[in-house]
């Protein structure tokens, strides 16, 4: 996803403005000031989006360069299966993805930061009655699970079952945690804004 598209999504999230209106720049009365406020808020964040780095050595160099001048709170990699490493050959794709997963964990430790790495799931989930993801669905490599401190899966029942009672609800499942218990929680999903929010508790 390009930097422009990512920023449009952030404007939608921060400004609570329909994402289609952000894309087409067609705002109703009162929405343009919300957009300006969102732009101001986001411009004050120490946020860097790099949309043209796929070689992992290049990514490590970028992180090292920024870590030399300031603390890095979080690195987000979108996504694992897009990574490549020039000049290195791997026995197979599983070994390659395991290498990236372990190197990302090592990079986080070296620069005292946190990383969130997105990953594809295998198509096997589509063939099950219960389509909630599980660890065996991690695409192509069990080494992803081994390297991760926490593995989180997202699931929305209405994506598969339009008549579900759980419309507008997303489940976040913790399938692995090194320092805690596994389990899941439910969040509100507001698709117009690409936003996850808290669900109001029932009285």
> For 68-96, how does the pLDDT look when each residue is reduced to its tens digit (9 = 90+)?
999 999 999 999 999 999 888 998 888 89
Long-range contacts of 134-139 (CB under 8 A, 24+ apart): 134/175, 135/175, 135/176, 139/80, 139/81, 139/97
Q: Which tens digit of pLDDT belongs to each residue from 153-176?
A: 999 999 999 999 999 999 999 999
Report yes or no: 66 and 48 within 8 Å, Cβ to Cβ: yes
Each residue of 157-180: b (16+ CB within 10 Å) or e?
A: bbeeeeeeeeeebbbebebeeeee
Give the three-class secondary structure for 1: coil
Integer Cα distance of 197 and 159 in angstroms: 18
pLDDT at 64 over 90: yes
Tell whether the model's pLDDT for residue 184 goes beyond 50.
yes
**pLDDT value of residue 141:** 65
The token pair at 25 is: 């720049």
Give the pLDDT confidence score for residue 201 in this predicted structure: 58
Q: Quick one: tokens of 197?
A: 């929010």
Overall average pLDDT of the 141-146 stretch? 82
pLDDT at 139 exceeding the cut of 80: no
Quick one: average pLDDT of 115-139? Answer: 90
pLDDT averaged over every residue in the chain: 92
| Amino acid 86: pLDDT | 85
pTM, two decimal places: 0.86
Q: Is the pLDDT of residue 124 over 80?
A: yes
Q: Quick one: tokens of 14? A: 């921060």
Sign of CA dihedral 34, 36, 41, 45: positive
Task: Give the C-alpha separation, 15 to 11, whole Å.
Answer: 6
pLDDT digits (tens, 9 = 90+) for 8-17: 999 999 999 9
């Amino acid at each position: 996803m390009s930097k422009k598209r990512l920023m449009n999504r952030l404007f939608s999230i921060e400004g609570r403005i329909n994402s289609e209106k952000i894309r087409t720049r067609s705002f109703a009365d009162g929405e343009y000031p919300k957009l300006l406020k969102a732009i101001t808020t986001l411009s004050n964040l120490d946020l860097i989006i790099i949309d043209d780095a796929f070689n992992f050595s290049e990514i490590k160099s970028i992180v090292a360069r920024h870590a030399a001048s300031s603390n890095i709170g979080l690195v987000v990699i979108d996504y694992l299966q897009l990574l490549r490493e020039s000049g290195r050959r791997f026995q197979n794709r599983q070994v390659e993805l395991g290498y990236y997963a372990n190197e990302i964990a090592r990079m986080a430790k070296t620069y005292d930061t946190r990383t969130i790495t997105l990953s594809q799931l295998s198509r096997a989930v589509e063939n099950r009655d219960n389509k909630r993801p599980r660890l065996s669905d991690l695409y192509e490599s069990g080494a992803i699970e081994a390297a991760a401190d926490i593995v989180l899966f997202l699931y929305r029942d209405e994506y598969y079952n339009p008549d579900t009672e759980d419309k507008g609800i997303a489940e976040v499942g913790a399938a692995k945690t090194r320092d805690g218990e596994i389990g899941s929680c439910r969040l509100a999903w507001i698709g117009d804004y690409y936003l996850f929010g808290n669900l109001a508790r029932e009285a």
